[in-house]
Structure formats: structure tokens, C-alpha cells
Amino acid sequence: MQCHRCQTEIDPEEEKEHLNQVLCEDCYMDALSPPKGCDPWAVYSAKNLEQHAGSGITLTPLQSEILRILKETGGVEPPALLQELAGKLTIPQLEREFATLRHMEKVRGERREGKIFLRLW
């Protein structure tokens, strides 16, 4: 079976159906999160920021907690942050929250000795 969009050959177990099209996993994810962009995090965050436009930027309790942890630790690796959050988030969820915060210029990633650390902006 071929992906309807990108014509990639897909394994039967990786076929996804979306609007009667058979898609590979990548295209499926893409189809689920319009508008298209090269950085899905940025797109998500931009949308999020739009929603907040006019009302000022409000943080979710989870985002506040992430900021608190980063402040207390001075920067942590993603798995350590997840641990601090005591299983409230999965990695993809954390990535989304982090991307949102990054767009607000509250946090950023930093490379330290070859490792990625999350820290306050």
C-alpha cells in the first residue's frame, strides 16, 4: 500500500486512514495538525498564542510548574523534568508545553557537554 500523499510504501500496520485516504504515519500526523509548517511545535505555539492574544498570555498550572522547576534547578534534562512532574506528562506533551513556553520566551533549550538542557530564557 502506498501513502496517498507522499507515495511512500507503507507497512500494513502503519497505514492510517484519514478522510478516506490511506496515509503513512508522517502524513497522518501532518493531516491531523494543520496548518502545515516545517516546525509543528512553532505552528502549535503560534496558534496557542493567537488564542491568548488580547487577553495577555496566561500560563496553565502545568506550564507554571515547569517554570518553577527550571527556576529551582537552573536547568534540567527533559527526562529529569518529566520525573519532577511526577508522570503528569509524556515526552510529546512536554515538548508541546515547552514549545509554547519557548515561543513566549520563557524557556529555551541549551546544549551542555553534548546534552540538551531545558532552562529559563
- The contact set with Zn ion (CB under 5 A) reads 3, 5-6, 8, 24, 27
106: helix, strand or coil: coil
Cell of 109: 533549550
Taking the least distance from each CB to Zn ion, the nearer of 3 and 94 is 3
> Least distance in Å: CB of 11 to Zn ion?
12
Rounded to a whole number of angstroms, the minimum distance from the CB of residue 12 to Zn ion is 15
Which of 31, 120 has the CB closer to Zn ion?
31
Shortest separation between residue 100's beta carbon and Zn ion, angstroms: 27
Distance of alpha carbon 32 from alpha carbon 27, whole angstroms: 8
Phi, psi (5° rounding) for residue 117? -115, 145
Rounded Cα distance between 37 and 70, Å, is 29
- CB closer to Zn ion, 6 vs 116: 6
